[in-house]
Amino acid sequence: MTTKPHASGELDSSRMSHLVGYAASRAAITLRQVFAKHMAPLDLKIVEFSILMLVAQNPQVNQKQLGQALDISAPNMAVTLDRMVERGWVERVRSTKDRRAQHIHLTTAGAQLVQRAEKIAATMEAPSLAMLSPAERALLIELLHKVASGRAPKR
């Protein structure tokens, strides 16, 4: 069976439109583009933003915990943190309780960057999500968290 392309030149994706993963992936592409555009002045990547936010919220966090939370391999996390240390955003600090452990702390520059990034993040998605009511947006976030956690709802 052959289908004609849409007049606009868009491809017919109806064979995938019922798949949650396809819809989530398409939405993620749009939102990653929004993020890149808005965070470009800060020269901040999504993974760096995520690390900064987790470190800001979790003062005793270590590299392994960050890697687990973001599903980043240990070698990739080490490289990313090295880059962030070089840029002066975070520092590795030896634990006073366990000398083998190192915590990741924000530097003064990192804390300032967090504040600037949070300001941008607070509004950057609004135009892309304007078709959703506040309740729909909250529901979307809740549902995506459920899918990400892999837990079935309690009944």
Place of tokens 């009511």: 133
CA pair distance 22, 33, nearest whole angstrom: 17
Contacts of 52 (CB under 8 A, 6+ apart): 44, 84, 89, 90, 106, 110, 113, 114, 117
pLDDT band (50, 70, 90) for residue 4: low
Is the model's pLDDT at 59 over the cut of 70? yes
Average pLDDT over residues 34-53: 97
pLDDT of 46 above 90: yes
Residue 82 reports pLDDT greater than 80: yes
The answer, yes or no, to whether residue 152 has pLDDT greater than 90, is no
Task: Fill in the DSSP letter of residue 96.
Answer: S
Architecture of the domain whose range is 20-144: Orthogonal Bundle (1.10)
Q: Where are the domains positioned within the chain?
A: 20-144
